Amino acid sequence: MSKKEHHEHQEGGKPKKMKRKAYERELARLEVELVKLQGWIKAKGLKVAVLFEGRDTAGKGGVIKRITYRLSPRVVRVVALPAPTEREKSQWYFQRYVPHLPSAGEMVLFDRSWYNRAGVERVMGFCTDDQLAEFFATVNGFELALVRSGTILIKYWLDINEDTQDARFEQRLHDPRKRWKLSPMDLAARSRWVDYSLARDAMLMQTSTVHAPWYLVDANIKRHARLNVITHLLSMIPYEDLTPEPLELPPRQDTGDYKAPDLSAYDWVPAVYPRSAKGGIRQ
């Protein structure tokens, strides 16, 4: 990020958003590369864990959706854990995350991760001071163990300013498609902006290590953030194109004496949007 861009980011400036056509063209190009990366991860048995953290409305889910859109869920999984159960609260803190870590040939994208303890749990009082201290005393060693066991660990913090968060909260309030994303926790996060900022600062300072550094993303413009994250992710794992050569479709089986039955007696989904002669939708 340039000095000018950083200043605009800090002061809530509004840099120009790229045109949709340019965004979609670049996204399509990157999707091809993601498919190549997926093939490489599977073929080479790599274990990749990618953590996405950030304030509410930072766009973590949107970035993850764009990464996974063209990929196979058998290779690339998304983990978004709910609040811990009473049983999980009694366990070693990292225990409930371990079963979701990648096996050979997998990439796992964590929509929030064990860093909940350093963020929302700390700010909202869901953990004690001793539990927080234990987390910071343990997390770097936990991540070092993952890396030494062969896991490629990549950590992203999506950063937004106050104006961006306010605008996105307003969108959620007025758009029924997004209102489900709002919760009392989100509203509390808005009212405790400084507390979350202090928690973020402490987290970055104490947990950005040589073996597992944090990568910060300017997420004030969703299109730019998505393209930047995907480009960076691709750069983190050297890969080769293992795409197989195009296959030749075999001839269709001869129908012979087969006759399609009359299906009119079955229940069909109502054609609320019937096919028109021109392929459009008849009103």
Question: pLDDT at residue 283 above 80?
Answer: no
What angle in degrees, to the nearest 10, is found between the helix axes of 184-191 and 162-174?
Answer: 150
Question: pLDDT at residue 282 above 80?
Answer: no
Q: At a CB cut-off of 8 Å and minimum separation 6, what does 25 contact?
A: none
User: What is the pLDDT averaged over residues 142-155?
Assistant: 98
pLDDT, position 174: 84
Question: pLDDT at residue 279 above 70?
Answer: no
Cα–Cα distance, 189 to 45 (Å, whole number): 39
pLDDT, position 179: 79
pLDDT, position 80: 97
Question: pLDDT at residue 84 above 60?
Answer: yes
User: What is the pLDDT averaged over residues 175-181?
Assistant: 81
Amino acid at 13: G
pLDDT, position 1: 55
Of 41 and 185, which is predicted with more confidence? Answer: 41
User: What is the pLDDT averaged over residues 254-281?
Assistant: 84
Of 3 and 149, which is predicted with more confidence? Answer: 149
3-state secondary structure of 88: helix
Tell me which residue has tokens 């056509």.
Answer: 21
Of 99, 100, 140, 144, nearest to 118 by C-alpha is 140
pLDDT, position 188: 76
**Contact yes or no for 122/116 (Cβ under 8 A):** no
pLDDT, position 280: 56
* Residue 178's pLDDT band (cuts 50, 70, 90): confident
For residue 25, the surrounding DSSP H or E stretch is helix 20-44
Mean pLDDT lowest among 22-26, 66-70, 191-195, 233-237: 191-195
- pLDDT tens for 1-40 read 555 555 455 545 566 899 999 999 999 999 999 999 999 9
pLDDT, position 172: 84
- pLDDT tens for 110-147 read 999 999 999 999 999 999 999 999 999 999 999 999 99
Structural domain 17-236, CATH architecture: 3-Layer(aba) Sandwich (3.40)
CA-angle at 163, arms to 158 and 15, nearest 5°: 75
- Of the chain, the percentage scoring pLDDT greater than 70 comes to 92
Q: At a CB cut-off of 8 Å and minimum separation 6, what does 34 contact?
A: 67, 70, 71, 230, 234
Strands of the 214-218 sheet, one edge to the other: 76-79, 106-111, 47-54, 151-159, 214-218
User: What is the pLDDT averaged over residues 79-103?
Assistant: 97
Strand residue runs (E) in 32-97: 47-54, 76-79
User: What is the pLDDT averaged over residues 251-280?
Assistant: 85
Mean pLDDT lowest among 88-97, 132-141, 168-177: 168-177
Cα–Cα distance, 146 to 152 (Å, whole number): 8
User: What is the pLDDT averaged over residues 172-190?
Assistant: 79
pLDDT, position 191: 84
- The rounded mean pLDDT for the chain is 91
